[in-house]
Structure 1
Amino acid sequence: MTTLPFKVSAALDRAEIARRWALANEPSPDDSRGPRLPLLLREFLWPVEPLRRAFSKPLDITPASRPKTVMLLPGFGAHPIRMRWMARKLEQAGHTTKRWGLGYNLGATAERFARVEKRLLSVFERAGEPIVLVGWSLGGVMARELAKKHPCKVAKVVTMGSPFSGSPRANNGWRAYQAIAGHRVDEPEIDTVPAQKPPVETVALWSPRDGIVHPRSACGRPGERDRAVALRCSHMGFVLTNEAVIAVLGELDG
């Protein structure tokens, strides 16, 4: 009798693993494709970026004319520590940065979205002013949804390589997403139309060198964002390069 719960639990675990494996191996129901293989392979060179910064001219940070409170939302599979260098540069300019408070971003599940929504409300209450949301990849998609639900509490949304436009499979990470999050990318647990623009100023940073998310998906179409700004970094470079920091600082002062 005492071993039955363990056996049932183990069976359920195996069933869930099998289900997620099947999700990861689903054929794509459309013709959407992620960036080309050479661009994807370049993403694995991201550890070089800190070295490149070390041997390049130091970034000249201009003090912000109007300091903002900024919440940073990491990309899928990423921990907030990946955005720590960017946070330091924003703070050097005089802005106040806040983590999203959830640790690793393992998918836009209903439970995770509810938690980050609670975090936004808490940051807003303490700051006493609308918050700027800066989201990397999936974090940007979630930032857009937060702004749709709470437009009075969000001053602006800046997405960085975020797949909000077109097919949700126009990237090289949708299979991993389905396996880890446990749901299909086109069947989210929250009621959403990703391409619908939030009712606040929304700027999309994108790059033709992105090896994870297709540039058209991250750039979006007119009406899906207010402006699109092209950078020349990799997908990982959105949180690691001087170019990306300069772009975000420009949007915070814009």
Structure 2
Amino acid sequence: MAKATKKAPPDHHPAPNAWLMALELRAPWELWSVLPSWPALAKAPVGDGHPVIVFPGLSASDGSTLPLRAYLNNLGYDISGWNQGYNFGPRAGVLETAKRQVRETAEASGEAVSLVGWSLGGVYARELAKELPRHVRSVITLGTPFSGSHKSTNAWRLYELTSGRSIAQEVENFDLPAAPPVPTTSIYSRTDGVVAWPSSLQAPCQNNPHTENVEVFASHIGLGLNPSAWWVVADRLAQAAGQWKPFERAGKLQQWVFPDPTRP
């Protein structure tokens, strides 16, 4: 990955408190809520079946994204995991292997690839899109911390333990807050118990007007298992190439499920 230069210092948002961390225990219920939500999820917009790669979060593997990938596969997309086992950070060869996967997938299909990343996996997705804009169609992230300092999460010590790297030095290699040059959606939750939610907000970008932030009610651990997050992912993937529009809260149900983006 190319090194960034002349970056502004990241904003520091306090990491989620103990109460929000305790709310992470609701994650299994978010997965179970898929069952009563299935009739609605099955009616999600259907796209053109283009290839999609899904990246797991820190210390997670493709097993964690299996429910989401199964749902997207049911909608007709050509779905792949990241195929690198557990995500213990961008250790030697990880990002180069991911870059090769994106390039080879796009070349084999003849289509640009959409990248979906959960937490740290979203950082990979964003940075890969910056390096391979011709091969990436869109980026969707779930609870990904990219606009705050590394201490705006409750996972930075785990990152250092599992990756064997200093996160403070690591983030200096990239301009994480900069938006990728492709349509980008950041899905976040104000009740995230791992990542301070302002750290998942993409600031307006003059060079790329096709960016957005979509709020859902979810835990961090449950974001990739949450029916409302799945709906947003499906809705965003269904957009025709070159015809991006912001996510719309259509109907009374969606206006209740997805908070008003103008609220403070």
Bin of the TM-score, shorter chain as denominator length: 0.7 to 0.9
Gaps of 5+ in 1: 1-29
Gaps of 5+ in 2: 1-10, 240-264
Is residue 51 of structure 1 aligned with residue 36 of structure 2? no
Is residue 171 of structure 1 aligned with residue 156 of structure 2? no
Query: Equivalents in 2 of 1:62, 1:162: separation in Å?
Result: 24
Task: Identify the residue that residue 15 of structure 1 maps to in structure 2.
Answer: none
Query: Equivalents in 1 of 2:143, 2:117: separation in Å?
Result: 9
Q: Is the 8 A contact 1:140 1:160 kept in 2?
A: yes
Task: Identify the residue that residue 202 of structure 1 maps to in structure 2.
Answer: 184
Taking structure 1 as the reference length, what is the TM-score of the superposition?
A: 0.82
Task: Identify the residue that residue 237 of structure 1 maps to in structure 2.
Answer: 222
Cα-to-partner distance string for 1:28-82 (whole Å, 9 max, x where unaligned): xx96421121111121332233333345554323461422211000011111111
Q: How does 1:10-21 map to 2 (within 5 A)?
A: none
CA RMSD of aligned residues (A): 2.0
| Counterpart among 236, 251, 262 of residue 251 in structure 1 | 236
Task: Name the amino acid aligned to 2:86.
Answer: Y
Taking structure 2 as the reference length, what is the TM-score of the superposition?
A: 0.79
Look up the SS of the partner of 1:47 in the other structure.
helix
Is residue 122 of structure 1 aligned with residue 104 of structure 2? yes
Q: How does 1:68-217 map to 2 (within 5 A)?
A: 68-188=50-170, 191-217=173-199
Q: Is the 8 A contact 2:121 2:144 kept in 1?
A: yes
Query: Equivalents in 1 of 2:145, 2:111: separation in Å?
Result: 28
Task: Identify the residue that residue 4 of structure 2 maps to in structure 1.
Answer: none
Q: 1:102: Cα distance to partner?
A: 0.5
Cα-to-partner distance string for 1:105-150 (whole Å, 9 max, x where unaligned): 1012342111111211221122211000000000001111101111
Task: Name the amino acid aligned to 2:235.
Answer: G
Query: Equivalents in 1 of 2:149, 2:171: separation in Å?
Result: 17
Cα-to-partner distance string for 1:160-204 (whole Å, 9 max, x where unaligned): 100010212201100111111111222128831111111111111
Task: Identify the residue that residue 42 of structure 1 maps to in structure 2.
Answer: 23
Q: Which has the larger radius of gyration?
A: 1
Q: 1:234: Cα distance to partner?
A: 0.9
Query: Equivalents in 1 of 2:102, 2:36: separation in Å?
Result: 37
Q: Is the 8 A contact 2:192 2:220 kept in 1?
A: yes
Look up the SS of the partner of 1:236 in the other structure.
coil
More helix by share: 1
Closer, same or farther: CA 190–169 of 1 in aligned 2, 3 Å? closer
Task: Identify the residue that residue 20 of structure 1 maps to in structure 2.
Answer: none
